[in-house]
A and B are shown apart, each in its own frame.
Chain A
Amino acid sequence: MTGPSPGGSPPPRLPPPPPADDIASWHRLHPLSPLVRAGRHLVGIGIFVILFLFANQRGSQTGHDLIVDLVVVALVLGAGLVSWLVTRWQVADGVLRIETGLVRRQSRRFPLSQVQAIDVVQTGLARVLGLAELRLRMAGADSSGGRLASLPLADAERLRQRLLSMAHAPGTAAAGPPAATSGVAGQAARPERPLFRVRSGRLAAAIALSRTGVFAGVVIAALLAVIAAIGRPGVTASLLPVVIGVALTVWRQFNGEFGTAVSAAPEGLRLRSGLVQTTAETIRPGRVQAVRLVEPLAWRLFGWCRLEVDVAGPRQRRENRSEAQRLRALVPVGSRADAERMLGELLAAPPWPTRRAPARARWKAPLAYHFLAWDGDDRYVVASRGRVCRKTTWVPLEKVQSIRWVQGPVQRRLSLASVRLDVAGRRVTASLADREAAEAQQILAGLPDLARAARHGGRASRGAVNRA
């Protein structure tokens, strides 16, 4: 039931009708989607079955356990099958509609004009079967974006293209299919311009030198030493899960960022990454809320850095919560030149932090003082901070949600103050820390007006993304 059926059945059906009109009717997901969705559980159950077989080789309970497991597998698959049967989707009038639910019917509408980004995600099993999941990221604060799991990979890519082009021009999508299709065809014909590709060796080295890597290394070494010193099987069995868990976090980061490739496409920056589970997403121009350049101490020795962007809308999945905390790394690790080139693609002529904090800020922030700086023009504000790891954050003024002025007791004594600019998303804040009190007041008084001007006038002069 694996190999030929997913690859075999869709292609004959799809190419003949032009994809323009076929998405307006109701569609089902791919028949193998329940299998993919249950994949994680199946793997777990499979491991348990094998463990039980080993453990109870002589026991008479084996058959019984196996039956229980098989019943569980059948239930999971059955539930998946029912959910597949009652799920259907449709794109009409610039709205993606997903209907699902057997007992509680649920019909969800996703207006394409509010889509922030669309990702194509392939889990390991889906990759084997040639399937992919389409995820719509909306601007809302909850994680309930639209998910279409699963579609054949080619369909998913094509649908993503179409939805994105409709998201740009909802009017054409509603009015005339011919216009929409020609637009897509015209855009698809323009080649993508590759911008960056991470080097695998460097990524491995960089993760090993990062805080995660060093921490994991220390923990694993300590635990292995304990295991070797004590050497009793009971201790080993209880510590091994910890080792595996720590190793998994490192692996997850490596897996997620492996082979990161960024290219400039007509609809935005295309980002692909992943070793086992691959992700392809598009960062639309004008959706970038903040850009951050991170330079940990160990990386600075090699001249490496990391460039991350924050795009509105959460990227949350239950299974990788750690991923949700991080920003999207356009350059997981690269040279300074790589990062600057990417920065130039994201922002037009960004300023660099040159205005240092006053010397007396050294009393308040002795470790961070050497990195405290900011600058700004009428479009961006940039601020850098950090003790051993320098973090430089760019925020487009048109994206600023609120501005906060903060003065703690020590700062008041030294007549300093900080100003923070909040943008939508996961707590990214440009912090203009420890400025002269008068300067901070001036910033607080002046920035709201600048931000408003940028909001109103900034539509035309958005980031330089996809200016080919």
Chain B
Amino acid sequence: MSVAEPDTSAEPGDAGIRWQRPSPLLLRARRIQVGLVTAPVALAGGLIAAAAGSPALGLGIGLGLVAAGLLWERFLARRVAAWGYAERQDDLMVRRGVLIRRQSVVPYGRMQFIDVTAGPVERSLGLATLRMHTAAAASDARIPGLDRAQAAKLRDQLAALGEAQAAGL
């Protein structure tokens, strides 16, 4: 739980909420994901343009796509930094988003079940995503990039709290 340092850079009205952060490795995971998408797309785009037009056009389009990927990467750091969660006494609070900022409050008693998933990239870095489900389809509370052990611990903790406060429908 090395990440449990209180965070001061937040929106107004945050007083008293101790935000916890996903693992710093999340940024690397996201970067790898962006790279894995950008490289083949740029390669394919460049080759197709080279085959259809001239090699120069292909090179230009390929480089353009790479530049787009790099631009995308620039925003990653802010988006990753925006994630945060806080275990409060009766509910879990999750916040995310840079352009559209969101904060969700999910009472422990409303949790129906909790998922821990890990994609190939996350798995290779020892990360996992925790997702909480309530009876409402619109509820949207997930925490990406948790240390796998920490995710398991949080899951058990949340499950226990949910059981203790279960409120049904």
Q: Which of B103, B137, B169 meets A405, CB within 8 Å? A: B103
Q: Which of B11, B99, B104 meets A404, CB within 8 Å? A: B104
Task: List the B side residues contacting A424 at CB < 8 Å.
Answer: 134-136, 169
Indicate if B52 sits at the interface (CB-CB under 8 A). no
State whether B135 touches A442 (Cβ < 8 A).
Answer: no
Q: A401-B110, A402-B141, A441-B13 are in contact. Are A455 and B136 (CB under 8 A)?
A: no
Per-residue 0/1 for B134-150: is the Cβ within 8 Å of any A Cβ (1 yes, 0 no)?
11111111000000000
B112 CB to nearest chain A CB (Å): 8
In the complex formed, the residue of A with least CB distance to B91 is A448
State whether B109 touches A455 (Cβ < 8 A).
Answer: yes
State whether B12 touches A438 (Cβ < 8 A).
Answer: yes
In the complex formed, the residue of A with least CB distance to B92 is A402
State whether A444 touches B105 (Cβ < 8 A).
Answer: yes
Indicate if B51 sits at the interface (CB-CB under 8 A). no
State whether B135 touches A403 (Cβ < 8 A).
Answer: no
State whether A312 touches B101 (Cβ < 8 A).
Answer: no
- The distance in angstroms between the C-alpha atoms of A408 and B141, with both chains bound, is 18
Per-residue 0/1 for B74-110: is the Cβ within 8 Å of any A Cβ (1 yes, 0 no)?
0000000000000000110000000111111111011
The bracket for how many chain A residues form the interface is 35 or more
Task: List the B side residues contacting A412 at CB < 8 Å.
Answer: 101
Task: List the A side residues contacting B44 at CB < 8 Å.
Answer: none
Q: Which of A399, A403, A407 meets B105, CB within 8 Å? A: A403
Q: A139-B169, A404-B103, A409-B100 are in contact. Are A444 and B136 (CB under 8 A)?
A: no
State whether A445 touches B13 (Cβ < 8 A).
Answer: yes
A-B contact count (CB 8 A): 94
Per-residue 0/1 for A366-398: is the Cβ within 8 Å of any B Cβ (1 yes, 0 no)?
000000000000000000000000000000000
Indicate if A150 sits at the interface (CB-CB under 8 A). no
Task: List the A side residues contacting B137 at CB < 8 Å.
Answer: 141, 422, 425-427
Indicate if A184 sits at the interface (CB-CB under 8 A). no
B91 CB to nearest chain A CB (Å): 5
In the complex formed, the residue of A with least CB distance to B141 is A402
The bracket for how many chain B residues form the interface is 20 to 34
A82 CB to nearest chain B CB (Å): 37
- The distance in angstroms between the C-alpha atoms of A200 and B3, with both chains bound, is 64
State whether B136 touches A423 (Cβ < 8 A).
Answer: yes
Indicate if B4 sits at the interface (CB-CB under 8 A). no
Task: List the B side residues contacting A360 at CB < 8 Å.
Answer: none
Indicate if A406 sits at the interface (CB-CB under 8 A). yes
Q: Which of B's residues lie within 8 Å of A, judged by CB?
A: 11-13, 90-91, 99-107, 109-110, 134-141, 167, 169
Q: Which of A's residues lie within 8 Å of B, judged by CB?
A: 116, 139, 141, 287, 289, 312, 399, 401-409, 412, 420, 422-427, 429, 437-438, 441-442, 444-445, 447-449, 451-452, 455
Q: Which 6 A-B pairs have the closest CB atoms?
A: A441-B13, A424-B135, A422-B136, A401-B136, A402-B139, A405-B103
Q: What are 16 pairs between A and B in contact, CB < 8 Å?
A: A287-B169, A289-B169, A399-B169, A402-B106, A402-B110, A402-B139, A404-B105, A408-B99, A420-B138, A422-B134, A422-B138, A425-B135, A441-B11, A444-B13, A448-B105, A455-B109
